[in-house]
Amino acid sequence: MNKTLRTLIASAALTVTASSAFSTECIAPAGVGGGWDFTCRQIGKIMFDIGAVDKPIQVTNMSGGGGGLAFNHVVAERNDDDDLIVAASVATSTRLAQNAYAGRTADEVRFVGAIGIDPGVIVVAADSPYKSLSDLLNAVTADPSSVTFAGGSAVGGFDHMKPLMLANRAGLSDITKLKYLGVDGGGEAITQTIGGFTQAMSGDMSEIVGFIASGDVRALAVLTEERVPGFEDIPTAVEQGYDVIAGNWRGLYIPRGVSDETFDMWAGKLQQVADSPEWAEAMAANGLAPFTMVGRDFQGYVDNLVLEIRQMSKDIGVMQ
């Protein structure tokens, strides 16, 4: 046997061994270390640890286009792959809503569920005259020019969408009048608010924990279904009469072409992770709050979120 043939056979054997070591692939649509990478690695590890899958899950990092490269890959090349899961977050739905994936739409995949969230929050400076979310939103609807929100995303990003959704629920008929200042990250947004340059900050819980502890800010609302463990004194927007749930959820989608049975299978496995003490520990260690919405209800939630963000993006001129 010549050397070239031996090399080819050895290579083929290695490929078979490697592929047989994994039953499922999880695509993280960004590089190592980000939120999508965390989702694949943590959920995949726990699925294996608790016996939801019988082999380790292979993680593939596929960065590009803010998740668009991976989305297009799944739709165009893996549409009926039963053994493929993909990390998703609120950034996925926002970019789909704003047509950032070159014409791809949310209904070209199936959203399986989300099982953790970095909760959205609305905060004001500790000495702010606004003592409740209603105080703040009443001021916005009465005179939109009197309140400026700061956020760590650009105009049209999700930190902007949170106060837009709240103002919409509060009855502001022309949301283009809501004032928003997009700055470089949540830390700068809080600084703007503490310094009195803006009246409120729209961000995520992980960005404000230290400022709550120091007493520099007062959180008026958390944008989750239920109050966040460890921060039970912060009321939800929902309980204050504003039906807005918004945060950076962590979840999965799968190819559109798989069967309902495959969808239900992955929904069941994701629910097993959500119910496990291992996931509770992972959330606590990484600043996530409980948020479990798995199966058909989650698909409907994403569909509605995409529609709302798309309309608001058009209303404020971010897209045509």
Rounded Cα distance, 24 and 77, in Å: 16
Q: Which CATH superfamily is domain 119-240 in?
A: Periplasmic binding protein-like II (3.40.190.10)
Which is more confidently placed, 65 or 87? Answer: 87
Q: Which CATH superfamily is domain 3-117+248-315 in?
A: Bordetella uptake gene, domain 1 (3.40.190.150)
Amino acid at 161: M
Give the residue-averaged pLDDT of 245-266. Answer: 96
- pLDDT for the residue numbered 110: 98
For residue range 8-33, what is the model confidence (pLDDT) as tens digits?
A: 334 433 333 344 566 899 999 988 88
CA dihedral 88, 95, 283, 117 (to 10 degrees): -120
- Tokens standing for residue 267: 């929904």
Rounded Cα distance, 87 and 40, in Å: 6
- pLDDT for the residue numbered 316: 87
Rounded Cα distance, 17 and 51, in Å: 21
For residue range 150-178, what is the model confidence (pLDDT) as tens digits?
A: 998 888 888 999 999 999 999 999 999 99
- pLDDT for the residue numbered 3: 47
- pLDDT for the residue numbered 279: 96
- pLDDT for the residue numbered 4: 44
pLDDT at 141 over 50: yes
Whole-structure pTM value: 0.77
Domain-wise residue ranges, the chain: 3-117+248-315, 119-240
- pLDDT for the residue numbered 319: 81
What is the torsional sign of CA 74, 77, 79, 81?
Answer: negative
Query: Do 119-240 and 3-117+248-315 have the same topology in CATH?
Result: yes
- Tokens standing for residue 312: 């608001």
Between helix 35-49 and helix 260-274 the angle, nearest 10°, is 90
CA dihedral 238, 134, 162, 117 (to 10 degrees): -40
Phi, psi (rounded to 5 degrees) for 219: -85, 120
